[in-house]
Amino acid sequence: MNKKEKAAFIVNKLEELFPETPIPLQHWDAYTLLIAVVLSAQCTDERVNKITPLLFAKADNPFDMVKLTVDEIREIIYPCGLSPAKSKAIFNLSKILIEKYNGKVPSTFEELEELPGVGHKTASVVMSQAFGFAAFPVDTHIHRLAIRWGLTNGKNVTQTEADLKKIFAKELWNKLHLQIIYFGRKYCPARGHDAEKCPICSVVG
């Protein structure tokens, strides 16, 4: 199978297995999504979804967030890990949103990536899921699966993102990245993976 054939098979199989792709992180606007994605770094979505209701009960917008201290934020988000860095980022990005953007989350990659604690992957998630912009956020799970499926040489997530964007049609990106995440969790884990039983690895591997 060449890459084009693999890609066609993968798209069809993912559509068959995961026709619906609800966004894993609970949120209701661009700001709550941004904060949830910042919290999700090196943390499971499941844990983030347990913590965000506690945080958003106190502050679900930048104006209320800056009324909390960094220490108060850190105490709430502690179970998500990396809480000293994440609490500072959440406080400081909220401050910038107020000062520079009237409390609104900007809708360009450049502006998002200038915010504290926001890297390219976080910006990609917000651009695709909050603003509907075509993006292909690549996390460690997608990176791992793309290597397994022979779609990239896997030097780094930046290279993987570029390779996947070349292989898959742009109109598929936003849904496809979620489908791959769901597939990885259910069928293609990092450990204890049985390639022969995997609906995709057994065919394209």
* 161-204 pLDDT tens trace: 999 999 999 999 999 999 999 999 999 999 999 999 999 999 99
Q: How far apart are CA 87 and CA 71, in angstroms?
A: 7
pLDDT at position 141 over 90: no
- Note whether 164 and 200 are same-domain residues: yes
- Note whether 60 and 115 are same-domain residues: yes
* 31-67 pLDDT tens trace: 999 999 999 999 999 999 999 999 999 999 999 999 9
* Annotated catalytic residue 121: yes
- Note whether 37 and 115 are same-domain residues: yes
| Token pair in block for residue 2 | 């060449």
Q: Which of 93, 108, 129 is the last residue of a domain?
A: 129
Q: Which of 82, 103, 129 is the last residue of a domain?
A: 129
* 110-140 pLDDT tens trace: 999 999 999 999 999 999 999 999 999 998 8
Q: Which of 64, 94, 129 is the last residue of a domain?
A: 129
- Note whether 152 and 193 are same-domain residues: yes
Per-position DSSP letters for 169-193, written without gaps between them: -GGGHHHHHHHHHHHHHHH--SSS-
We report the CATH number of the domain holding residue 88 as: 1.10.340.30
- Note whether 16 and 63 are same-domain residues: no
Q: How far apart are CA 96 and CA 100, in angstroms?
A: 6
- Cβ-contact 138, 164 below 8 angstroms: yes
- Note whether 140 and 87 are same-domain residues: no
Q: How far apart are CA 117 and CA 105, in angstroms?
A: 14
Q: Is 84 exposed, middle or buried (0-12, 13-18, 19+ CB in 10 A)?
A: exposed
| Token pair in block for residue 113 | 């990536």
Question: Which among 121, 166, 170, 194 is annotated as catalytic?
Answer: 121
| 82 alpha-carbon distance from chain centroid | 17
Q: What is the pTM of this model?
A: 0.93
Type of residue found at 34: L
- Note whether 38 and 15 are same-domain residues: no
Q: What pLDDT band is residue 154 in, cutting at 50, 70 and 90?
A: confident
The predicted pLDDT at position 85 comes to: 98
- Note whether 15 and 78 are same-domain residues: no
- Note whether 35 and 16 are same-domain residues: no
* Annotated catalytic residue 64: no
Q: Name the domain count of the chain.
A: 2
- Note whether 34 and 119 are same-domain residues: yes
The predicted pLDDT at position 45 comes to: 95
Q: Is 200 exposed, middle or buried (0-12, 13-18, 19+ CB in 10 A)?
A: buried
pLDDT at position 74 over 90: yes
Question: Which among 6, 86, 139, 163 is annotated as catalytic?
Answer: 139
**Domain range for 167:** 3-21+135-204
We report the CATH number of the domain holding residue 144 as: 1.10.1670.10
- Note whether 37 and 111 are same-domain residues: yes
- Note whether 125 and 35 are same-domain residues: yes
